[in-house]
């Protein structure tokens, strides 16, 4: 995928909206010295190109000390995309990427209890046909994390 | 104001709507949930003030020109892993860094503009960090799912 070229105004918009997405177009326009129409048009374009998405991030549920866990999966290379897609359908799973390395699929999830992680890794993922091996690892401490820069994936419906 | 108010069903319903579209107006959310716009506005503000909620734009790695993503597992030797991870977390290329259990000690997400940047990162930056025994990369070739909407909210973040 080649990314569309973003100019300085796009980056300023992203910066403002990454702090507060509920700010009005009028306020942004005044702050950046452009028209409301420009702001509206730019935001629409950035959204359409998959460069930005608007969402709600909550710290709710963090009180129950959910831990980030990594599940490395070794699966048949010729079925890797289908298997990754199947894993992505599991609600307990937050992220799935196909990788080249020690594993060919990496899975990330937030789990409140160890047996939930075991259930997903060893009962659900390992049970998928042509999955040969899973390994889990738990993040005991997160030293750095940027919740604003992500991979925006398209809804998997149209294909 | 008490920051530790219990979040009720109305709050959760509003958060659900914001997860789908963070730029929905108070009036649109109010109409969908049969509330008043004033209630929606007050509820959002209350959760934001208590650092339970941020409604934000997230941007794609590609919007910042990062075209290479890799997960790197690190084995530490002769030095506490918590020291090594703090040093690694200072590099801007490192987007996430966690101390983990298992065969490796540190797991991190690295983003690069292109593969040419890898030699400088490895030879000029990572090589200066004491205590790294081995590094195993997993290069992301396709991201199937990436959905992290629960994150610690830093009180220092601008509102």
CATH dotted code for A62-138: 3.30.70.920
For chain B, residues with pLDDT lower than 70 are: 1-4, 150-159
Q: How far is CA A154 from the centre of its chain?
A: 11
Do both B18 and B76 map to the same domain?
Answer: no
pLDDT reported for residue B51: 84
Which residues on A lie below 8 Å from B59 (Cβ)? 14, 18, 51-52, 148-150, 152
Residues B97 and B133 both lie in one domain: yes
Residue B71 structure tokens: 């997960």
Angle CA B97–B103–B108, to nearest 5:
15
A-chain residues near B157 (CB < 8 A): 19
The whole-model pTM stands at 0.84
Cβ neighbours around A13 below 10 Å, total: 22
Interface residue B156 vs chain A (CB under 8 A): no
Q: Look at residue B157 and tell me if it is in a domain.
A: no
ipTM of the complex: 0.85
Question: Would you say residue B37 lies in a domain?
Answer: yes
Task: Please report the pLDDT score of residue B148 as a whole number.
Answer: 75
Contacting B residues, span 5-64, partner chain A, CB-CB under 8 Å: 7, 12, 15, 18-19, 21-23, 44, 47, 51-64
Q: Using an 8 Å Cβ cutoff, are B73 and A102 in contact?
A: yes
- From A60, which residue of chain B is nearest by alpha-carbon distance? B52
For residue A142, the model assigns a pLDDT of: 86
Q: What are the per-10-residue average pLDDT scores of chain A (159 residues)? A: 81 94 94 96 94 85 72 96 96 94 94 92 96 94 86 60
**Are A104 and B71 a contacting pair, CB within 8 Å?**
no
Tokens 């084995």 label which residue?
A: B75
Q: Does A68 touch chain B (CB under 8 A)?
A: yes
Classify domain A8-48 at the CATH topology level: Arc Repressor Mutant, subunit A (1.10.10)
Distance of CA B5 to CAs A5, A64, A65, B50, B151, Å? Answer: 44, 16, 19, 8, 19
A96, A100, A135 ranked by CB distance to B144: nearest: A96
User: CB of B112 within 8 A of CB of B121?
Assistant: yes
Read off φ and ψ for residue B78, nearest 5 degrees.
75, 10
pLDDT digits (tens, 9 = 90+) for B27-67: 999 999 999 999 999 999 999 998 889 899 999 999 999 99
Does A103 reach chain B within 8 Å, measured CB to CB?
Answer: yes
């Amino acid at each position: 995928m080649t990314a569309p070229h973003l100019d300085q105004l796009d980056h300023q918009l992203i910066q403002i909206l990454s702090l507060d997405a509920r700010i009005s177009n009028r306020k942004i326009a005044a702050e950046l010295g452009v028209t409301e129409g420009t702001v509206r048009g730019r935001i629409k374009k950035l959204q359409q190109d998959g460069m930005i998405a608007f969402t709600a991030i909550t710290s709710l549920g963090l009180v129950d000390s959910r831990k980030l866990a990594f599940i490395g999966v070794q699966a048949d290379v010729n079925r890797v995309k289908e298997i990754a897609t199947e894993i992505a359908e599991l609600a307990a799973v937050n992220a799935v990427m196909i990788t080249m390395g020690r594993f060919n699929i990496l899975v990330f999830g937030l789990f409140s209890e160890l047996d939930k992680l075991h259930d997903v890794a060893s009962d659900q993922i390992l049970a998928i046909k042509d999955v040969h091996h899973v390994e889990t690892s738990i993040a005991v401490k997160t030293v750095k994390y940027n919740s604003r820069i992500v991979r925006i994936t398209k809804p998997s419906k149209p294909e | 104001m008490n920051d530790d108010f219990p979040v009720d069903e109305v709050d959760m319903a509003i958060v659900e709507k914001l997860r789908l579209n963070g730029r929905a107006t108070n009036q649109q959310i109010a109409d969908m949930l049969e509330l008043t716009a004033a209630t929606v506005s007050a509820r959002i503000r209350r959760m934001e003030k208590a650092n339970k909620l941020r409604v934000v734009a997230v941007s794609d790695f590609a919007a910042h020109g990062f075209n290479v993503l890799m997960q790197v597992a690190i084995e530490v030797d002769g030095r506490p892993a918590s020291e090594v991870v703090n040093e690694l977390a200072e590099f801007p290329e490192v987007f996430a860094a966690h101390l983990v259990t298992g065969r490796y000690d540190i797991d991190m997400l690295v983003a690069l503009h292109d593969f040419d940047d890898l030699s400088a990162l490895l030879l000029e930056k990572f090589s200066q960090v004491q205590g790294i025994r081995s590094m195993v990369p997993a290069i992301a070739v396709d991201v199937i799912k990436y959905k992290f909407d629960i994150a610690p909210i830093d009180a220092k973040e601008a509102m």
